[in-house]
Structure 1
Amino acid sequence: MTPNETLLLALLVIFALPWALWRLWGKITLPLVVVQIVGGILLGPGVFGAVAPGLHGEIFTPQVIASLNALGLWAVTVFVFIAGLELDISEALANRRETVTAAGFALGVPLVLGTLAGGVLLQTEGWMGAAGHPWQTALGIGMACAVTALPILILFLDQLDLLRRPLGQRILRYASLDDIAIWAVLALILLDWTRVSRQLGFVLILLTLSPLVRRLVPRLRPTDRWPVALVWMIALAFVSDWAGLHFMVGAFLAGAVLEARWFDVTRVDRLREAWLLVMMPVFFLSTGLRTGFQAGGWVVLAAALLLLVASVGGKLLGVWLAGRQLGWGRETWVIGWLLQTKALIMIIFANILLDKEIISPAAFTALLLMAVGSTVLTMPVVTRLLSRPDLSRHRDAVK
């Protein structure tokens, strides 16, 4: 086959297989995007490559992998830009005490437990990347356990008919504040003293240009705003990567300094949905191709289980502690389970750690399995909780 034919065959598998699985099995409880993430893992070297190495090598040639990685880079750059664009902390600031308490406990407890779990893994070899230090690897694993995937959370809230209700808006406030902390911790992990002058330069560029961009964009004609925003995104992603922070940090911050209302919130929602359908499956597959079981299949699965317990248990414990402080009722467990949703953002976070060689492919695989496991658990548990009369009757009035 020609290189173009091989690439198109790979894309056919990427888009057809997850959709078929979703229609046959996951449509009732899982969004298509979650099944696509699972499909990326199944098509990777750890599963498909192990079962049929010859066929895997014929479809996913080095040239095809390079093309998929390039498409995946563009896909995730735009996606994290949209995630930053949709970030709205005005409601969080208006309800500071409640939001900071809830978000702090919901992030802090699983971060501590996840970091401790990372420390346990580091007692044996095979989990730290070649360029990582033990504290970076442990903190990175801990942060991955604490992450809430805001895009997946929005999909789940919409599917549960909670997105526009008071309870759903509260949950989004907590997750939005945690989103900021995630990128702040990532910047700390990636801090490179050999490039500190570049990283300070990036901060100065961001602080200098952001006010100018914020004044410029809303004054443009609506048809000019998206092109200017994309140029801003690419430029800041380039400078961020040049400074050693990773291009996704710059892309997220490029979106965060703008406001979705300047681009029409409805159009932003449609773009996110279309991007998840058209481009992000390529990123999921390129992610799946990076999974590795070099530490041993059962060892990686055991590590994933340890991280799953730290992640889910830590999030539920943190939300329970917040609920005790704030006087919440039975909605505490609904909030806890929805906030422990991982998938997209955690996979992006773990990809950055792998790119920077802070974690190993085995640790990346364990984190990926943990993210999928925690996300798959969410909908069945929350659906059952919401079916209780005391919650289903009052969820509209929960403030």
Structure 2
Amino acid sequence: MSSYQVPPLLLALALISLLAFGAGAVARRLRQPPVVGEVVVGILLGPTLFNGLISDTLFPTDIRPFLTALATIGVVLFMFTVGAELNAGLLRGHRVVAGTVAAGSIALPFGLGALLALYLFPRHPTDSKLGFVLFMGAAMSVTAFPVLARILIDRGLSRTWLGSVALACAAIDDVLAWSLLAVVVAVAGAGAGSVWVLLFVPYVLAMFLVVRPLLRRLLAERAEGGPPRPSALVITLVGLLLSAAFTDWIGLHYIFGAFLFGVVMPRSVLPEQGVTAQVSERIIHLNSRLLLPIFFVVAGLKVDLSTMDVSDAVELGLILAVAVGGKFVGAFTAARLGGVAPRPASALAVLMNTRGLTELIILAVGLELGMLDGQLYSSMVVMALVTTAMAGPLLQLLYPMPSGRDTAPPHAPDLEPAGVPGR
């Protein structure tokens, strides 16, 4: 890195942080997750407006590789926190309905996405037709656990029966979606080669049987709920980066190693007070203010909606129909078959459509693997934005909140506290 590149890079980082903070604040005022505002800013800074004049001025080509590197670190840290926040306890008392809804919200959109891929393939050919079909199915099946959790907390639903089931479904969806993407990466033959990818299964076993007990000993707390040792953050970061590097080296992509390391982090009896939660909280602060906004900008620089024609608009309509319809019908039908009443079943279907940053990461992987070209990537990013933005307003229709107040909706039988059957 040359000395003349330092000032524009630092100025770009300052601008990204400021714009992301402002966009997130505006999104909150509109009762939207901050990620919606941040993604919109990323797109507006890209080539969509003024033929790329804004992006070329603010983010010169010679500093973009450094932005991409920082964005990669942000994604690694984010995937760690996603894995660390997965909690098997969410399934307690909700295994049947959560498993049924999760299966429905994965199976139908995956199947429809695969069929759509067959239709799109002639216009967007790739080296692997099978990889493209599997990727589109996986991309349509995603539910963003972190964004969904934020929506439920903001609306006072996180400790209700509906909120608990929705979080359990999203947790299952996350695991299944990442598993599907791992298959896509293996089929595509990316990275170091298909032979080394066979090491992934032994690696997963080693992580749970060896690394997890070792982490429990190294990160042992002084007392339940007490502060972690000063070395806890360093141990976590070193292990996280090594895990991400290993899975990328064997050809599976670094996101899987980061996610898996988060999953094997030791859990406390009181998860919100444990060492894992405290370490994750420290990581999230820096990541959400600087590194992830860089990812949004880097992703936005690759989105170009200015060249869309009628055919592209038709494709976008089909993508939205499959994404929204597949998730909603799959989740709603599965919930009704599981004995859930119509209104909470509709709410679950709406929440399962939340895709957020998780979808953007999957799309970035698809672009990197050559599964998506520039135009299809742009359309899929719009789909991710629309499906995330619509969750709040649709949930408001089902469970209205008093205007201007962030309190729980009026009492309803299907919103009884978690653990008390709603119907």
Deviation at 1:333, TM superposition (A): 0.9
Which moved further from structure 2: 97-106 or 265-274? 265-274
Distance 2:301 2:32 in 1: 23
Q: Is 1:195 matched with 2:190?
A: no
Which moved further from structure 2: 261-270 or 27-36? 261-270
Q: Is 1:165 matched with 2:190?
A: no
Distance 1:84 1:306 in 2: 32
1:129-144 maps to which residues of 2 (within 5 A)?
A: 129=126, 132-144=127-139
Q: What are the ranges of 5 or more consecutive residues in structure 2 without an aligned counterpart?
A: 221-227, 269-273, 403-408
Could you tell me which of 210, 216, 227 is aligned with 2:214? 216
Q: TM-score, normalised by structure 1?
A: 0.90
Q: Is 1:392 matched with 2:410?
A: yes
* Partner of residue 308, structure 1: 320
Distance 2:72 2:279 in 1: 23
* Partner of residue 29, structure 1: 31
* Partner of residue 67, structure 1: 66
Q: Given residue 211 of structure 2, which amino acid in structure 1 is its aligned partner?
A: V
Q: TM-score, normalised by structure 2?
A: 0.85
Distance 2:266 2:87 in 1: 8
Deviation at 1:392, TM superposition (A): 3.4
* Partner of residue 285, structure 1: 297
* Partner of residue 11, structure 1: 13
Which moved further from structure 2: 150-159 or 15-24? 15-24
Q: Residues 358, 86 of structure 1: CA spacing in aligned structure 2 closer, same or farther, 3 A cutoff? A: same
Could you tell me which of 133, 145, 154 is aligned with 1:150? 145
Q: Residues 225, 363 of structure 1: CA spacing in aligned structure 2 closer, same or farther, 3 A cutoff? A: same
Q: Is 1:322 matched with 2:334?
A: yes
Distance 1:269 1:339 in 2: 25
Q: Which structure carries more helix by proportion?
A: 1
Deviation at 1:93, TM superposition (A): 6.4
Deviation at 1:359, TM superposition (A): 1.8
Q: Residues 200, 300 of structure 1: CA spacing in aligned structure 2 closer, same or farther, 3 A cutoff? A: same
* Partner of residue 386, structure 2: 373
Q: What are the ranges of 5 or more consecutive residues in structure 1 without an aligned counterpart?
A: none
Q: Contact between 1:86 and 1:260, CA under 8 Å: does it hold in 2?
A: no
Which moved further from structure 2: 105-114 or 72-81? 105-114
Secondary structure in structure 2 of the residue aligned to 1:147? coil
Q: Contact between 1:347 and 1:371, CA under 8 Å: does it hold in 2?
A: yes
Q: Residues 243, 78 of structure 1: CA spacing in aligned structure 2 closer, same or farther, 3 A cutoff? A: same
* Partner of residue 233, structure 2: 226
CA deviation string 1:174-232 (max 9, x = no partner): 11011111111111111156933201123323322432211111222532333222222
Deviation at 1:267, TM superposition (A): 5.3
Deviation at 1:22, TM superposition (A): 4.8
Deviation at 1:39, TM superposition (A): 0.9
Secondary structure in structure 2 of the residue aligned to 1:279? helix
Q: Is 1:253 matched with 2:260?
A: yes
Distance 1:21 1:219 in 2: 42
Q: Given residue 16 of structure 2, which amino acid in structure 1 is its aligned partner?
A: I
* Partner of residue 361, structure 2: 348
